[in-house]
Amino acid sequence: MTEICKNLQKIKAEIPKNVTLVAVSKTKPKEAILEAYQCHHRDFGENKVQELVQKHEILPKDIQWHMIGHLQRNKVKYIAPFVYLIHGVDNIKLLKEINKQAAKNNRKINILLQIKIAREETKFGMDEASLEEIINAYLSGNFPYLQIIGLMGMATNTTDTEQIAKEFVHLHGLYQSYQIKVPEFRYLSMGMSGDYKIAIANGSNLIRVGSAIFGARNYPV
């Protein structure tokens, strides 16, 4: 069994059955993804449109591709035909563009709204007022080609696990309150290699794990 397969199986054995594992394959070659695929894994995450499109073209078509990075509006058209779930949607202009491209492709596109929970200034994500505005527009039927199926967030990059837990608890609370209003809500995407255990303990049911599966990346992205 390959190292990648061992890592995948170890993580799957320790997380609850209801938690979806997205293997974050950014910067990794197709051979690494195929190792995970042969280990029966089907959900992969990328954070760059060009890389996502290239990998989709050359890899098996039953892979479910997750766009987990910051998405620019002018690039939505390249992933709209095939993307399974877009995690980081954090503004209304981007929602409008995804809705438009989904319509062109005659399909509904699943998205998660990214909420800013970290202390850092650099992280993407919307505040709660924008969340409310967007959900209201969605519930009024403004985005017929979108399915808003949950929320996504990234905790502060810190060793302070209490701080991380606090941020996840906060996002879980928001998720639960909107789950009552939005029947499609079913995913709370939070947790990466360094903090997925804290995330799951605090309500995550979708984790995005890269280096713990594929090993450290050669360059930061």
Ligand X SMILES: *Cc1c(COP(=O)(O)O)cnc(C)c1O
Residues that bind ligand X (CB under 6 A): 24, 26, 47, 68-69, 192-194, 208-212
Distance CA 46, CA 208 (A): 10
Residue with Cβ nearer ligand X (91 or 105): 91
Residue with Cβ nearer ligand X (34 or 51): 51
Q: How far is the CB of 122 from ligand X (least distance, A)?
A: 13
Q: How far is the CB of 211 from ligand X (least distance, A)?
A: 4
DSSP three-state, residue 117: coil
Distance CA 204, CA 220 (A): 25
Q: How far is the CB of 115 from ligand X (least distance, A)?
A: 13
DSSP three-state, residue 73: helix
Residue facing ligand X at closest CB distance: 210
Residue with Cβ nearer ligand X (22 or 98): 22
Residue with Cβ nearer ligand X (51 or 130): 51
Q: How far is the CB of 52 from ligand X (least distance, A)?
A: 12
Residue where the block lists tokens 């503004």: 91
Q: How far is the CB of 101 from ligand X (least distance, A)?
A: 21
What's the Cα-to-Cα distance from 24 to each of 65, 137, 190, rounded to whole Å? Answer: 10, 31, 13
Task: For residue 108, give both structure tokens.
Answer: 């509904």
- Going by C-alpha positions, the residue among 37, 88, 85, 77 that lies closest to residue 58 is 37
Residue with Cβ nearer ligand X (81 or 194): 194
Residue 39, Cα to own-chain centre: how many angstroms?
21
- Going by C-alpha positions, the residue among 79, 83, 92 that lies closest to residue 129 is 92
Q: Which amino acid is at 61?
A: K
